Chains A and B, each alone.
Chain A
Amino acid sequence: EVQLVESGGGLVQPGGSLRLSCSASGFSFSSLWMHWVRQAPGKGLVWISQITGDGSITTYADSVKGRFTISRDNAKNTLYLQMNSLRAEDTAVYYCARGGIGTEIDYWGQGTLVTVSS
C-alpha cells in the first residue's frame, strides 16, 4: 500500500524558514518523480515543485523559485521541502504527492499545515 506521510508544518513568522518532510512507503521510491502541491485555506490546488527519481532534476513554480528547495534521500525514502523567506501568502496545507508511471500525480499524502503569521 502506497503511503505518504508529511511532517514539519507549523506556525512560523514572516521571513522565517521551515523544512517539510515526507516519508514514503509501499513503492520503489527512487524510481518515481515526487511533487509538492499546496492548498491555501478554502482555495484550490497549486503545484509548487517536482524532483526526478534520482534527484538530479528539480522544477519550481515561479512563486517559490529561489526561496524553496526540493530534495530527496532515497536511502531513507524521504522527500523534503526547505522553505525560506516565508511570506503570509505561503500559508497553506502542503501535500507530498507521487508521480505515476506517466506524468500524472497518482497518490497524495494527508498534508501538513504551514501558517506564516506574526
Chain B
Amino acid sequence: DIVMTQTPLSSPVTLGQPASISCRSSQSLVHSDGNTYLNWLQQRPGQPPTLLIYKISNRFSGVPDRFSGSGAGTDFTLKISRVEAEDVGVYYCTQAKQFPYTFGQGTKLEIK
C-alpha cells in the first residue's frame, strides 16, 4: 500500500496569513497514463470531506482561488494564501493512483 505522510499534523494560523501543508507518498504517484493522482480534501468540523484539489493542482468546482496545490512525484504541497475563518478543519492528502486508495493522517488547521 502507498503510505501518505502529512506535515504538520496541527497548524495554528492567524487570520489573513498564509498556511502550507506538506504531503509525501511512499512511492511515486505518477500513473502509467501520465497523470499524477494526488488529491486534497477538506473536512470542516462535523461535516463530510469535500474535494479541494485534484491531480496535484486543479481546483475542484467552487473552490476559492486562495487554495492552490503543487508538487510532483512523491512530494506535494497545499497552500492557502490568506486563511479565512471558514477554512478551519482537517485537511487530507489522498492518492488515487492505485487501490487501496490511501489518505494522510490529516492536518488540523486552527486559528490562533
- Chain A residues within 8 Å of B, Cβ to Cβ: 35, 37, 44-47, 50, 59, 61-62, 95, 100, 102-111
* Nearest 9 pairs of A and B residues by beta carbon: A47-B101, A103-B96, A108-B48, A104-B54, A45-B103, A59-B99, A61-B100, A106-B51, A104-B39
A100 vs B110: C-alpha distance when bound (angstroms): 30
Known: A44-B92, A102-B55. A110 touches B48 (CB 8 A): yes
- Whether A47 contacts B37 by the Cβ 8 Å rule is no
- Chain B residues within 8 Å of A, Cβ to Cβ: 31, 35, 37, 39, 41, 48-51, 54-55, 60, 92, 94, 96-97, 99-106
Q: How far is the CB of A1 from chain B (nearest CB, A)?
A: 11
A35 vs B96: C-alpha distance when bound (angstroms): 12
A108 vs B35: C-alpha distance when bound (angstroms): 23
Q: In the complex, what residues of A have CB within 8 A of residue B51's CB?
A: 100, 104-107
Closest B residue to A44 by CB, please name it.
Answer: B106
Among candidates B37, B92, B104, residue contacting A102 with C-beta atoms closer than 8 Å: B37
- Whether B105 contacts A44 by the Cβ 8 Å rule is yes
- Whether B54 contacts A102 by the Cβ 8 Å rule is yes
A111 vs B101: C-alpha distance when bound (angstroms): 18
Closest A residue to B4 by CB, please name it.
Answer: A44
- Whether A45 contacts B37 by the Cβ 8 Å rule is no
A-B contact pairs, 24 of them (CB 8 A): A37-B101, A44-B92, A45-B49, A45-B92, A45-B94, A45-B103, A45-B106, A46-B103, A47-B100, A47-B101, A47-B102, A50-B99, A95-B48, A102-B37, A102-B55, A102-B96, A103-B96, A104-B37, A105-B39, A105-B101, A106-B51, A107-B51, A108-B48, A109-B48
